[in-house]
């Protein structure tokens, strides 16, 4: 008997006492904190992102390009890689402060390792946990782009921020066009492996800047 058939037979034998079928359970129950309101959710998101020592910058829609450029300047980044779908106006603003490389110009791991920063959009934000989720669409780029450079500047719109984890999971369910890879990011890379003392910055970006875009421009 193949290993597959043998394991399945063992498992079915082990559960022969079970009388229900997989469909009996019905829909998965949702346990979540409900949003007290849009502005409160956004406040909580900003608070929790900052609590895990990411830097939060709040701007109106016309302020994004300036904010991403300022972030690079502030952290002394002279080279930046950008995904191919990034907003053109942001990219132009970056060109004033750093050498801008497109995804294809940092194609190998070693080329990417020589780059200081990456600027991306994002997919979903979660307020109760201070999390940003990337689904690596063209405005976020392939996964290694936001992993190897030491500074990640990430732009998220207010309408992308949900209150609790279940809503985020629901939004990210793989659709008919196929599953996307997902990266859930809560603060910069960290470890507590030495005497349970939290240290920011191990292998992922040691600096995370979150640009939160809300409201209308006056």
Partner 1 sequence: MSTTTPGPLQQTSPTFVGMPTFPKAARAALGNTQQRKNLRHATATIRGKRARVVAEVPEWEALRVAGAEAKDEALTHLGDYLEQLEASLVANGATVHWARDAQEANRIVLSIVRSKEVDEVVKVKSMVTQEIELNEALEAAGIHAWETDLAELIVQLGHDRPSHILVPAIHRNRSEIREIFLREMGTVGRPAPDDLTDDPGRLAEAARLHLREKFLRAKVGVSGANFAVADTGTLVVVESEGNGRMCLTLPETLISVVGIEKVIPSWEDLAPMLQLLPRSSTGERMNPYTTMWTGVHEGDGPQEVHVVLLDNGRSHVLADRVGRQALRCIRCSACLNVCPVYERTGGHAYGSVYPGPIGAVLNPQLRGTASTIDKSLPYASSLCGACFDACPVRINIPELLVELRGQVVEQEGRTAESAAMRAAAWVLSDPKRLAGAQKAAAAAGRVVGTRTVRSVPGLGAWTNARDLPTPPPESFRQWWARERGEDDR
Which of 7, 36, 39, 62 binds partner 1 (CB under 8 A)? It is 7
Q: Does 107 bind partner 1 (CB under 8 A)?
A: no
DSSP letter, residue 194? T
**Do residues 125 and 160 make contact, with C-beta atoms less than 8 angstroms apart?**
yes
CA distances 133 to 30, 64, 168, Å, are: 20, 19, 9
Smallest separation, CB 111 to partner 1 (Å): 10
What is the pattern of x (binds partner 1, CB under 8 A) and - over residues 83-102? --------------------
Q: Does 3 bind partner 1 (CB under 8 A)?
A: yes
Q: Does 12 bind partner 1 (CB under 8 A)?
A: yes
- Nearest-10 crossing angle of helices 88-95, 64-74: 40
User: β-pairing, 117-120 with 161-162?
Assistant: unpaired
| Residue carrying the six token digits 């050498």 | 99
| Residue carrying the six token digits 């991306």 | 120
Task: Kindly identify the residues of this chain, within the stretch 171-210, that bind partner 1 according to CB under 8 A.
Answer: 173-174, 178-197, 199, 201-205
Smallest separation, CB 167 to partner 1 (Å): 9
Task: Report the residue number, 97 or 184, with the smaller CB distance to partner 1.
Answer: 184
For 211, the token pair is 């640009």
| Residue carrying the six token digits 């019905």 | 26
Other C-beta atoms lying within 10 Å of the C-beta of residue 151? 22
Other C-beta atoms lying within 10 Å of the C-beta of residue 60? 13
Smallest separation, CB 61 to partner 1 (Å): 27
Task: Report the residue number, 29 or 218, with the smaller CB distance to partner 1.
Answer: 29
Q: Does 56 bind partner 1 (CB under 8 A)?
A: no
CA distances 109 to 99, 102, 154, 160, Å, are: 18, 14, 21, 30
Smallest separation, CB 90 to partner 1 (Å): 22
Size of the site for partner 1 (CB under 8 A): 73
Q: Does 152 bind partner 1 (CB under 8 A)?
A: no
Smallest separation, CB 69 to partner 1 (Å): 26
Smallest separation, CB 209 to partner 1 (Å): 15
Task: Kindly identify the residues of this chain, within the stretch 113-142, that bind partner 1 according to CB under 8 A.
Answer: 113, 126, 128-131, 136, 142
């Amino acid at each position: 008997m193949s290993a597959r058939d043998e394991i399945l037979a063992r498992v079915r034998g082990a559960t022969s006492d079970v009388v229900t079928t997989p469909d009996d359970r019905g829909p998965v129950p949702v346990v979540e904190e409900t949003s007290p309101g849009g502005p409160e959710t956004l406040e909580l998101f900003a608070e929790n992102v900052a609590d895990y020592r990411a830097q939060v910058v709040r701007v109106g829609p016309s302020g994004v390009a300036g904010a991403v450029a300022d972030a690079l300047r502030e952290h002394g980044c002279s080279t930046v890689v950008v995904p191919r779908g990034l907003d053109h106006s942001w990219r132009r603003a970056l060109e004033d402060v750093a050498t801008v490389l497109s995804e294809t110009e940092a194609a190998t791991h070693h080329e990417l390792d020589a780059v200081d920063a990456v600027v991306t959009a994002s997919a979903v934000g979660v307020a109760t946990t201070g999390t940003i989720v990337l689904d690596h669409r063209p405005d976020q780029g392939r996964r290694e782009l936001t992993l190897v450079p030491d500074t990640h500047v990430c732009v998220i719109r207010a309408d992308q921020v949900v209150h609790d984890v279940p809503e985020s999971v629901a939004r990210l369910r793989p659709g008919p066009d196929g599953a996307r890879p997902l990266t859930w990011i809560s603060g910069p890379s960290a470890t507590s492996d030495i005497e349970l003392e939290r240290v920011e910055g191990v292998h992922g970006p040691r600096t995370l800047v979150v640009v939160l875009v809300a409201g209308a421009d006056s």
